[in-house]
Structure 1
Amino acid sequence: MSVDRKRRRRPEISIFQWLTLALVAAFIIVPFYTTILGGFKSIGELRTNPFGLPASWDPANFTGIIFGTALFRSLWNSLFIACSTVALSVLVSSMAAFALAHIRFFGSKFLMSFFMLGLLFPASTAILPLFIKLRDLGLLDKHLGIIIAQVAFSLAFSIVLFHSFFKRLPGELIDAARMDNCGYLRIYWYITLPLSLPIIATVGVFNFVGSWNSFLLPLIVLNTDTNYTWPLGIMQFQGQYGSDWPKILAYLTLTIIPAIGFFLLAQRYIISGLTGGAVKG
């Protein structure tokens, strides 16, 4: 009887929902499919047969990139910038969200609304004043300039996620800790953070992927080839009169694998972090 009840409770998926899911999946799978196969083709075959299988599976484009020095150097630069951005953004945004969620002070609602305004403005609108400020601080062509800028741009979204999660935590824990003469810093470090691993993973993945795929900010800040991130590494295959598209596609295939692996490892925490505060009780 219990098995029959579980089967009855499962909602039936209509044909329209299946078609919608198939259409969305096609929009995601087709670019990956053409990118991976394009790395095995020549320029002429890529133009005449962009979606079909390659005539010969020649891995020369992949091996030439793997055994070169530019790939791993750019991957290391991107990894260093992304991990530093994640660490700083999680630390700063979680501390700010904890203060806004559990400490009562004058202007807390105004500050929360002020942080939410950051969601309305894209980072590209501040590129020119950001470039001038980084130039004045001597942070051009340095990874630290990109890290600081990316942390600043990610704070609004991160604080909103942390604040929503912290508000759903049982208030009895905070009250019990206060009765034991625990300060807010100890409550934050020993009670709140251990209970917030799902939302930490969620914010970390969003910021990691955003930093990993960032192109405009490194393009403005970095000038030296040795400091380039992987999106800027594509420019080594672009000439004055043309681009080596098979090598570009092979390069994209190799550089997108770490982001996909990181996302697959943390997707369980992403889902639980986004839905953790959806239902109270």
Structure 2
Amino acid sequence: MLETRSRGAVWVLQLIATVIIIPFLFPLVVMVQGSFGGRGWGNYEAVLAIPDLWRYFLNSTIIALAVIAIVFVCTLLAAFAFSKLRVPAKELFFWLLLLGLTLPEIVLITPLFATAAATGLYDTLWAVIIPTAALQIPFTVLIVRSFFDGIPNELFEAARVDGASTVRMFWSIVLPLSRPIAATVVILTLITSWNAYLLPLVFLQSADNQTVTLLSQFFVGQFVNDQTKILAGSVIIALPEILAYVLLQRYFEKGLTAGAVK
């Protein structure tokens, strides 16, 4: 990590960080500003007046929580095995797993649609949960393995000398030390699952299974295209993600940096 005690260097680094963040902050400012265009707060009132809005938030919440649970469990177990266990040909399996990062979501729509229809999962939340989790796992395993590589092997060797099993080492050593990277996995997975648009659009047809990312359909049609209400809906949809980041910010930042420093 970069560390400096010079006041001038601190100001220079602060200036650089500010300049870097402006391009990412500008779209958010435009989104919030645009959401007040026309009717002002009336745009938010129109979004909140959408019938069954609470059901859409509930569906998105169920999808997000299910994806987070699946990704969290699979990622920690897989990363622990790839990093600390003696598994034959584990590097080969690791690189085969990383091949999942090369597959864009749109390419998998046809086989996923056929699979969902054949298994009876079409128009159910599971048709979104399972593919979303599967597409997220390769990336999360990559960053969590780097974090686990930074845990001293001497801890596990000492645990083996004391007679601890693999399960006990995972439970007593890995999990307590994984809070920073766990928060990172939770936030990254929440962003992906909460903002999922293509999979819900294709696989969720009934009104009872719609998610919040599909709210734009209420303001876009053949004779209407109310962008101000769409922006207001985007601001409302983003609030849970912002809240989650604020609550887990300390652990999230540690998780992103810990794996890069040995």
- Give the TM-score of the pair, scaled to structure 2: 0.90
CA separation of 1:279/1:225 partners in 2, compared to 1, >3 Å: closer, same or farther? same
- State whether structure 2 residue 138 is matched by structure 1 residue 139: no
> Which secondary structure does the structure 2 equivalent of 1:13 belong to?
helix
Contact 1:202–1:270, Cα closer than 8 Å, also in 2: yes
Name the CA distance, whole Å, in 2 between partners of 1:231 and 1:134. Answer: 21
Amino acid at match of 1:170: P
- State whether structure 2 residue 234 is matched by structure 1 residue 252: yes
Name the CA distance, whole Å, in 1 between partners of 2:10 and 2:18. Answer: 17
Residue 6 of structure 1 corresponds to: 5
- State whether structure 2 residue 105 is matched by structure 1 residue 106: no
Deviation at 1:29, TM superposition (A): 3.8
Name the CA distance, whole Å, in 2 between partners of 1:115 and 1:161. Answer: 13
Name the CA distance, whole Å, in 1 between partners of 2:30 and 2:172. Answer: 45
Residue 225 of structure 1 corresponds to: 207
Contact 2:31–2:231, Cα closer than 8 Å, also in 1: no
CA separation of 1:105/1:258 partners in 2, compared to 1, >3 Å: closer, same or farther? closer
Contact 2:79–2:145, Cα closer than 8 Å, also in 1: yes
- Give the TM-score of the pair, scaled to structure 1: 0.84
Amino acid at match of 1:36: S
| Of 114, 119, 131, the match for 1:149 | 131
Amino acid at match of 2:239: I
Contact 1:88–1:151, Cα closer than 8 Å, also in 2: yes
Contact 1:213–1:231, Cα closer than 8 Å, also in 2: yes
CA separation of 1:100/1:21 partners in 2, compared to 1, >3 Å: closer, same or farther? closer
> Which secondary structure does the structure 1 equivalent of 2:5 belong to?
helix
Name the CA distance, whole Å, in 1 between partners of 2:169 and 2:241. Answer: 33
Deviation at 1:121, TM superposition (A): 1.9
Contact 1:150–1:211, Cα closer than 8 Å, also in 2: yes
> Which secondary structure does the structure 2 equivalent of 1:260 belong to?
helix
Residue 34 of structure 1 corresponds to: 33
Amino acid at match of 1:196: S
Task: Note the residue ranges of structure 1 that are not aligned, 5 or more in a row.
Answer: 43-56
Name the CA distance, whole Å, in 1 between partners of 2:76 and 2:26. Answer: 35
- State whether structure 2 residue 3 is matched by structure 1 residue 21: no
In the TM superposition, what whole-angstrom CA distance separates every residue of 1:12-49 from its partner, at most 9, and x where no partner exists?
528983783364255344333333323xx15xxxxxxx
Farther-moved stretch of structure 1 (233-242 vs 265-274): 233-242
Size of the alignment, in residue pairs?
259
Name the CA distance, whole Å, in 2 between partners of 1:166 and 1:14. Answer: 30
Deviation at 1:129, TM superposition (A): 0.6
Amino acid at match of 1:231: T
> Which secondary structure does the structure 1 equivalent of 2:228 belong to?
helix
> Which secondary structure does the structure 2 equivalent of 1:6 belong to?
coil
Matches within 5 A, 1:49-198: 57=40, 59-198=41-180
Name the CA distance, whole Å, in 2 between partners of 1:255 and 1:188. Answer: 36
> Which secondary structure does the structure 2 equivalent of 1:223 belong to?
coil
Amino acid at match of 1:37: F
Farther-moved stretch of structure 1 (8-17 vs 138-147): 8-17
Contact 2:32–2:232, Cα closer than 8 Å, also in 1: no
Deviation at 1:90, TM superposition (A): 0.8
Identity %, equivalent residues: 33
CA separation of 1:12/1:250 partners in 2, compared to 1, >3 Å: closer, same or farther? closer
Please tell me whether Structure 1 or Structure 2 has the larger radius of gyration of its CA atoms: 1
- State whether structure 2 residue 186 is matched by structure 1 residue 204: yes
Contact 1:65–1:251, Cα closer than 8 Å, also in 2: yes
